[in-house]
C-alpha cells in the first residue's frame, strides 16, 4: 500500500495517473500522461520507496518523450542512487546529445565519477565545462572544482580556482569567505593582497574584501596596515566579528594593549562571549601588570570553558607575580588536576612551595616534572637547584649524572657541579669544574647565579673569575 500522505489535495489526480500508468504496464490503451505527469509519478514512487515502478516510469517516459532532458536526468539520478553508475553515465551521455549545455547533467556526471573515486575524470569534466557557462552556473562549477581539489589535497589549485571566481565575480561571498583560509594555507599573502586591492578598486564597499586584505597583511606581520584594513571593514559593517578579533590580535602583536582591550570589548558587545576573547583581554591586562583585572577576565573565560587548564595556570601566574603564593598554589593545583601530565604546572607548584619554605613538598613536584618531561633542560635545572637549596648535595650530583644521560653536553650542568662541590667543601674539584666551564663557555657563568646568587662572591670562586678575566 502507498503512503496516503502523498495525496493531500491531489488524491484524485494521482489516482487517475496511477490507473493510466498501470494500463501502460499491462499494454492496454491509455490516456495521455504529460512530461509533468511523469515527473509527478516518479516523485510519488520515490516517496513510497517503490524503486521498481519509479525506474519503470523513467523508462516509459523517456521513450515517449525522447527529448526531455528533465526526465532523462530523473532516470540518471535513480540509477545513481541504486549505484548503477555505468548505466547512469550512459543516460547522461544521451542528455549531452539533446541538451549539451545542461548544467545539472555536468554536476551529476561529476558526482558519479567522484563516487567511483575517478577524481581526475571528474576534474576534467568540470574544467571542460567551466568556461561554457556564465554567471551562477560557472561559479557553481568552480566552487565544486575547488572542493574536489581540496579532497585531492591540491591546495594551490583550491586557491587558484577561488581566485578565478573572484576575477569575474568580486562580490561572491562563498569565494571571499574561503579564499582567506587558502591564502594562509598556501602562504599566498602577497598574491592575496594584490587580488583584494584589485577587488576593492572595483567594489570599494566590499567589507569581506577589506577583511581578507587585513588578514593577508597580518600574515606578513604588517600589523599597522592590517589594522587600517580592518578599520575600513568595520566602517562598512560594524557587526563584523572576526574583524574585531583580528584587529585585537594585531594590536597585541604591537604591544598596544589598551587598544587591543578596547577592540576586543567591542567584540564582546556585539557577539556571544567566547573564552578565547575573554582570555585575550585578560592577557592584555596581565601585560600591563593589572593582575586583578586580568584575573577577572581569566575567571570569566574559565566559566565558559572550565576544562581549559591553561586558564587556571594563567590565574596562578598572576598570583605568583603578586607573591601571593598560597593563592597561586590553588590555581596551579586546579590546572594540574585537569591536566596531570603537564610538567610546567608541576614546576610552577614547586616554585611556589620553595618560596614558602616547603622544600620537601617542592622536591616532589620537581621530581614529577622531570619524570614527565626528562627531555626538557629546565625541569632538571629546577630539581637540581631545589636539591642544592635543601642541602641534598649528593642527590643533586646524582641527578646531574642522570640529566647528562639525556643530553650530550650542557655547560650549565658543569657550572652546577662546581657550585655543589664547593658547598660540599671539595674546593679543588669545584675549581677544576669551574675552570672547565669557563673555558667551554664563559657567557654561561650566569648559571652559577641561577643556583646560588651569592656564590660568585665566594673567595675561592671570586679568585678564579678574576684570574680568568685577566687571562682573557
Q: Is-contact 200 210, C-beta < 8 A?
A: yes
DSSP 3-state assignment of 344?
helix
How far is 327 from 338, CA to CA, in rounded Å? 17
How far is 90 from 95, CA to CA, in rounded Å? 9
Pick the closest to residue 69 from 37, 106, 96 (CA basis). Answer: 96
Give domain status of residue 441, yes or no: yes
Pick the closest to residue 81 from 42, 120, 118 (CA basis). Answer: 42
Q: What are phi and psi of 461, to 5 degrees?
A: -70, -35
Tally of structural domains, the chain: 2
Q: Chain centroid to CA 143: how far?
A: 22
Looking at residue 10, its pLDDT comes to: 44
DSSP state of 271: S
Give domain status of residue 463, yes or no: yes
Domain CATH for 60: 1.25.40.10
Looking at residue 288, its pLDDT comes to: 97
Q: Is-contact 339 370, C-beta < 8 A?
A: no
Q: Is-contact 218 246, C-beta < 8 A?
A: yes
Last residue of a domain, one of 117, 140, 174: 117
Count the Cβ atoms, other than its own, within 10 Å of residue 32: 7
Last residue of a domain, one of 97, 117, 137: 117
Give domain status of residue 24, yes or no: yes
How far is 71 from 37, CA to CA, in rounded Å? 11
Grid coordinates representing 112 are 558519479
Q: What is the pLDDT along the chain (472 residues), one digit of tens a residue?
A: 455 555 444 443 877 777 777 777 766 676 677 777 878 888 888 777 778 888 877 777 777 788 877 888 888 888 888 888 888 888 787 887 777 777 788 888 888 888 888 888 888 888 777 777 666 778 888 998 998 999 889 999 999 999 999 998 999 999 999 999 999 999 999 999 999 999 999 999 999 999 999 999 999 999 999 999 999 999 999 999 999 999 999 999 999 999 999 999 999 999 999 999 999 999 999 999 999 999 999 999 999 999 999 999 999 999 999 999 999 999 999 999 999 999 999 999 999 999 999 999 999 999 999 999 999 999 999 999 999 999 999 999 999 999 988 887 789 999 999 999 999 999 999 999 999 999 999 999 999 999 999 999 999 999 999 988 877 6
Looking at residue 47, its pLDDT comes to: 77
Name 278's Cβ contacts closer than 8 Å, sequence gap at least 6: 268, 297, 298, 300, 301, 304
Q: Please classify residue 338 by burial: count the beta carbons closer than 10 Å to its beta carbon, then call 0-12 exposed, 13-18 middle and 19+ buried.
A: middle
Looking at residue 2, its pLDDT comes to: 52
Q: Range of 12's domain?
A: 1-117
Grid coordinates representing 263 are 577592540
Name 286's Cβ contacts closer than 8 Å, sequence gap at least 6: 294, 314, 317, 318
Q: Is-contact 213 193, C-beta < 8 A?
A: yes
**CA distances for 6 relative to 40, 42, 131, angstroms:** 11, 12, 41
Give domain status of residue 281, yes or no: no
Start-to-end CA span in the chain (Å): 103
Looking at residue 14, its pLDDT comes to: 78
The angle formed by the CA atoms of residues 296, 302 and 304, to the nearest 5 degrees, is 110
Q: In which element (H, E) is residue 57 found?
A: helix 51-64
Give domain status of residue 469, yes or no: yes
Q: What are phi and psi of 93, to 5 degrees?
A: -65, -35
Give domain status of residue 324, yes or no: no
Long-range (24+ apart) CB contacts under 8 A made by 145-152 are: 146/178, 148/110, 148/114, 148/119, 148/122, 148/123, 149/123, 151/119, 152/119, 152/123
Last residue of a domain, one of 88, 117, 146: 117
Give domain status of residue 336, yes or no: no
Q: Is-contact 441 413, C-beta < 8 A?
A: no
Give domain status of residue 97, yes or no: yes
Amino acid at each position: 500500500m502507498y503512503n496516503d500522505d502523498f495525496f493531500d489535495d491531489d488524491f484524485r489526480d494521482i489516482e487517475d495517473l496511477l490507473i493510466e500508468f498501470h494500463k501502460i504496464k499491462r499494454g492496454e490503451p491509455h490516456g495521455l500522461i504529460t512530461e509533468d505527469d511523469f515527473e509527478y509519478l516518479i516523485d510519488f514512487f520515490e516517496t513510497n520507496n517503490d524503486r521498481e515502478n519509479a525506474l519503470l516510469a523513467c523508462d516509459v517516459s523517456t521513450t515517449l518523450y525522447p527529448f526531455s532532458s528533465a526526465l532523462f536526468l530523473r532516470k540518471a539520478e535513480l540509477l545513481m542512487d541504486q549505484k548503477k553508475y555505468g548505466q547512469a553515465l550512459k543516460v547522461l551521455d544521451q542528455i549531452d546529445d539533446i541538451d549539451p549545455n545542461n548544467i545539472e547533467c555536468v554536476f551529476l556526471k561529476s558526482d558519479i565519477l567522484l563516487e567511483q573515486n575517478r577524481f581526475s575524470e571528474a576534474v576534467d569534466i568540470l574544467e571542460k565545462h567551466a568556461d561554457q557557462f556564465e554567471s551562477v552556473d560557472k561559479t557553481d562549477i568552480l566552487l565544486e572544482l575547488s572542493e574536489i581539489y581540496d579532497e585531492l589535497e591540491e591546495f594551490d589549485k583550491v586557491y587558484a580556482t577561488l581566485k578565478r571566481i573572484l576575477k569575474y565575480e568580486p562580490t561572491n561571498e562563498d569565494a571571499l569567505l574561503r579564499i582567506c583560509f587558502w591564502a594562509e594555507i598556501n602562504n599566498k599573502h602577497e598574491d592575496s593582497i594584490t587580488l583584494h586591492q584589485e577587488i576593492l578598486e572595483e567594489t570599494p564597499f566590499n567589507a569581506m574584501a577589506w577583511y581578507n586584505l587585513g588578514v593577508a597583511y597580518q600574515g606578513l606581520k604588517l600589523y599597522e596596515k592590517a589594522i587600517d584594513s580592518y578599520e575600513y571593514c568595520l566602517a562598512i559593517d560594524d557587526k563584523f566579528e572576526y574583524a574585531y578579533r583580528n584587529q585585537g590580535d594585531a594590536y597585541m602583536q604591537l604591544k598596544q594593549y589598551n587598544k587591543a582591550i578596547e577592540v576586543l570589548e567591542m567584540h564582546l558587545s556585539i557577539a556571544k562571549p567566547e573564552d578565547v576573547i575573554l582570555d585575550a583581554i585578560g592577557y592584555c591586562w596581565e601585560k600591563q601588570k593589572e593582575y586583578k583585572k586580568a584575573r577577572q577576565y581569566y575567571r570569566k573565560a574559565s566559566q565558559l570553558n572550565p576544562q581549559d587548564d591553561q586558564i587556571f595556570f594563567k590565574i596562578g601566574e598572576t598570583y605568583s607575580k603578586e607573591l601571593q603564593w598560597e593563592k597561586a598554589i590553588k590555581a596551579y593545583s586546579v590546572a594540574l588536576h585537569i591536566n596531570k601530565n603537564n610538567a610546567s604546572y608541576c614546576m610552577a607548584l614547586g616554585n611556589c612551595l620553595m618560596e614558602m619554605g616547603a622544600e620537601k613538598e617542592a622536591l616532589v613536584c620537581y621530581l614529577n616534572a622531570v619524570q614527565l618531561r626528562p627531555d626538557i633542560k629546565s625541569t632538571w635545572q629546577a630539581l637540581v637547584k631545589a636539591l642544592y637549596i635543601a642541602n641534598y648535595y649528593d642527590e643533586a650530583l646524582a641527578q646531574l649524572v642522570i640529566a647528562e644521560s639525556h643530553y650530550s653536553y650542557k655547560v650549565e650542568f658543569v657550572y652546577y657541579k662546581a657550585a655543589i662541590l664547593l658547598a660540599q667543601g671539595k674546593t679543588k674539584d669545584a675549581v677544576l669544574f669551574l675552570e672547565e666551564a669557563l673555558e667551554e663557555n664563559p657567557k654561561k657563568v650566569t648559571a652559577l647565579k641561577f643556583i646560588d646568587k651569592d656564590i660568585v662572591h665566594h673567595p675561592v670562586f671570586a679568585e678564579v673569575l678574576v684570574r680568568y678575566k685577566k687571562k682573557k
